[in-house]
Amino acid sequence: MFKDKTLMITGGTGSFGNRFITIFLKKFKPRKIIVYSRDEYKQFLMSQKFPPNKYPQIRFLLGDVRDLDRLKMAMREVDFVIHAAALKQVPAAEYNPMEFVKTNIHGAENIINAAISTNVKKVIALSTDKAANPINLYGATKLASDKIFIAANNITGTKNNRFSIVRYGNVVGSRGSVVPLFQDYINNRKNFLPVTHKEMTRFWITLDQSVEFVISCLKKMSGGEIFVPKIPSVKITTLAKAMNPTAKIKIIGIRPGEKIHELMCPKDSSGHTIEFKNYFVIFSSETNINSKIKEIQKNIKEKGKKVKLDFEYSSKTNQNFLSINEIRKLNKKLFLLPNN
């Protein structure tokens, strides 16, 4: 599927983009991978990691998803797009809402228009658990982005463009996540670890798992799906104890827009959510679910089943929680990986 094809990653200099390229090039032989992002310094650093003489198929393009003309130029002769560019910090969104709207919502619209104009075959956008029943501005912009991408399948006309979503939880060890924060406190010999709420839970996925899941969804997608992986949950106080059992836990209060628990499959979508062995698929509505199930089953050769009405997939009620020992094993493995 990917041999001699061109793939573009927006926001490609982030944790996901760096790891994606490493894994993707080990498995496939694309003609070209375009890293599209707006930070020239991060592109410089990434070019040191993937030098042109060793990785001639990687190209770096400066540009912003707010710039439609630049996106159209970048997507010429591109077969697949992974849309990872976004503003993501929850507290920053509460204080800078219009910047998040411009990047996360208007940027999504630009990606779609550019992809249709240049006849990109498949576009998959990375979403977040915060887009499910959002209570913060960041989640609301990502929900709007998700809706725009799903609806884009209705406006492609005779062109064969397809748009889908991947939604997953917190990526362990990624920039801005809690594991590096706790590790900084431990390295600086602090005698406490800050936790915003004693009942706080989060979904947990490694960077490698997120990359593998996105690649698999790019293969399976037929357009209009939201793919949700089955992943474990972790209680943040358990994580703190796993990382430093002697440190005190200091409850510092919930940040603006922060949830106590995360949600990936809301009850409101249970009527059009299908469960597979390792993931869920949320379709746009119940009206087209039967035809979409048949279509996706052709791609993946796996039979899914409808979830029960009022089913929800929450980090609070998840059946799979990581223990202290499991967290320690996972962190040990992650810390041995190269910096993302």
Q: What residues are annotated to the active site?
A: 130
Environment class of 84 (CB within 10 Å of its CB; exposed 0-12, middle 13-18, buried 19+): buried
Write out the two tokens for 34.
């375009």
Sign of the C-alpha dihedral computed for residues 163, 55, 171 and 84 taken in this order: negative
Q: How far apart are CA 174 and CA 15, in angstroms?
A: 6
Helix ranges restricted to H, 96-174: 97-100, 107-118, 137-151
For 138-152, b/e burial (b = at least 16 CB within 10 A) is: bbbbbbbbbebbbeb
Which among 149, 154, 109 has a CA at the least distance from the CA of 131? 149
